Structure 1
Amino acid sequence: MGSPEAQGPPEEQYLGPVVRRRDQIKPDTTDRRLLDTEGDSEWVHTDPWRVMRIQSEFVEGFGALAELPSAISVFGSARTPADTPEYDSGVAIGRALVEAGFAVITGGGPGAMEAANKGAREAGGVSVGLGIELPFEQGLNPHVDIGVNFRYFFVRKMMFVKYAQGFVVLPGGLGTLDELFEALTLVQTRKVTRFPIVLFGTEYWGGLVDWLRDTVVAQGKASQKDLLLFHVTDSVEEAVALVTKETSR
């Protein structure tokens, strides 16, 4: 039997689950590339390597949060000043949720997120922050007791949903709107068991609710019953009562 080299290139090549044929055949093997100490480091930026990073984020998040008690995710703007009634409402909501038996999960940043974490910590509850890598990184606020930082938004959003029994949404910007509509879509399409979504601040959210009713629903882009997927209130007590009622606590 001659050497493999003398037999010419193979007609097909198996690289794990991938089959390559004709001019798509690679001249080396996965093992050889793994064991070879030469070459550049561009491989750490390839999509297959990113899959491993994504997997590791899921594993770390699941491991850190799996033993949480019942929790509510609180969303809101990172730009909410600390000396405002809006911030004070966030503190009151965080405190009231703990007193109702919930842990509090936020994005871990400043502003409204910090307020809810502060209220939870001061009430002696579990205060969780799920941070995200951003160009203008601000870090986790000092009131977070359990913090997990993520590279990928979609992994982080998965944690918000998986480990929460409801959402309270304070006034916020594009990130808050993204999280709100993600939650509404998941509930509407029954990808998750129905859970309460409370918008805090009737003046702030009023224009959005009007647009949903008078434009989106009116033009048939959503149904009238979709407006029942969320509640709007200015009362801390009512917000907590709504999530408590719908989660059967």
Structure 2
Amino acid sequence: MTANGDDPVRRPRKPWPEKRKGPVLLRRDQVETSTTDQRLLDTTGPTDWLHTDPWRVLRITSEFVEGFGALAELPTAISVFGSARTPVGSPEYEAGVQIGRALAEAGYAVITGGGPGAMEAANKGATEAGGLSVGLGIELPFEQGLNEYVDLGLNFRYFFVRKTMFVKYAQGFVVLPGGLGTLDELFEALTLVQTKKVTRFPVVLFGSAYWGGLVEWLKSTLVAQGKANPADLELFHVTDDVSEVLKVLDAARGPKGTPA
């Protein structure tokens, strides 16, 4: 950060390959071409997985243990999702900053995927407001790394472990415009609320112009064809107003539930 609070000039991309594998940083010749998730789900590779899967279970367990240990004492928190491709300085980025700031000022910790774009924006707003800014990163074929506004950061190998942390330690979701990863997180949250796996869990979609087409499709196709109930459309709230985001979250705010 510069003295006036602006972002510094971004540094050029490193001239060497770099990748995170859980907590491990790999560079140059140590960088692998596949991810831990990919190797877990691969059914076309060698059969040595028959002998290594039991050890993977221990690694998966260790990720849960590390996550639970690091996040167990978080204050009331909100998970904020959105595209890693959101440009710095764009209206969507600035909205993310405003939302992160408003959440922190209201006493919430802010949890994101820890990457760039909308995630960075929410972390930035929370940090600038003096709140707790959390980033839950994931091992990907392309290196992202945790953004500079994360105060408490964890890197995960497995998506399903990371998703558990997003839900277990948050009391609601705010979803900014995003791509396939954001949609995945959104519909997983809605499914958990619909099936009552989580309770007192508001989901707010920010940006009516962006989400309008999806909402209309849910109404005109899913509900119209009987593949979802009309009441399912009440599982989320769409708004363009940061103050309304806080109003929806505060209405559902309460003590943490019992451990899963």
Bin the TM-score by the shorter chain: 0.7 to 0.9
- Counterpart of 2:212, as a letter, is G
**Residue 101 (structure 1) aligns with:** 107
Given the two structures, how large is their TM-score scaled by the length of structure 2? 0.78
For 1:91 and 1:137, locate their aligned partners in 2 and report how far apart those are by CA, in whole Å. 23
Q: Distance in 1 between matches of 2:179 and 2:156?
A: 20
User: In the TM superposition, what whole-angstrom CA distance separates every residue of 1:121-175 from its partner, at most 9, and x where no partner exists?
Assistant: 0000000000000001210000000000000000000000000000000000000
CA contact (8 A) 1:76 1:113 kept: yes
Answer yes or no: is 1:245 the counterpart of 2:248.
Answer: no
CA distance in 2, matches of 1:192, 1:139: 30
Matching of residue 144 in structure 1 with residue 150 in structure 2: yes
When normalised by structure 1's length, the TM-score is: 0.82
The Cα offsets for residues 82-138 of structure 1, whole Å up to 9 and x where unpaired, read as 020110000000000011110000000000000000000000000000000000121
Tell me, yes or no, if the aligned pair for 2:171 and 2:202 is still in contact at 8 Å: yes
Compare 237-246 and 112-121 and name the one that shifted more: 237-246
Deviation at residue 194 of structure 1 after TM alignment:
3.2
Matched, 1:48 2:48: no
1:46 partner SS: helix
Distance in 2, Cα, partners of 1:235 & 1:192 = 26
Q: Tell whether 2:60 aligns with 1:81.
A: no
Number of residues paired by the alignment? 208
Label 1:94 to 1:45 Cα distance change in 2 as closer, same or farther (>3 A). Answer: farther
- Looking at structure 2, the residues matched to 247 and 208 of structure 1 have their Cα atoms a distance apart, in angstroms, of 27
- 1:162 is aligned to 168
- AA aligned to 1:128 is V
% identical equivalent positions: 78
Greater Cα radius of gyration, structure 1 or 2? 1
Q: Equivalences for 1:213-224 in 2 at 5 Å?
A: 213-224=219-230
1:17-37 CA distances to partner (integer Å, 9 max, x unpaired)? xxxxxxxxxxxxxxxxxxxxx
Give ranges in structure 2 of 5+ residues lacking alignment: 1-47, 256-260
1:209 pairs with one of 203, 212, 215: 215
State the match for 2:201 in structure 1: 195
Report SS of the residue matched to 2:92.
helix
Is this contact kept in 1: 2:200–2:253, CA < 8 A? Answer: no
| CA root-mean-square deviation | 1.4
Deviates more, 1:102-111 or 1:193-202: 193-202
Task: State the shift of 1:240 in Å.
Answer: 1.3
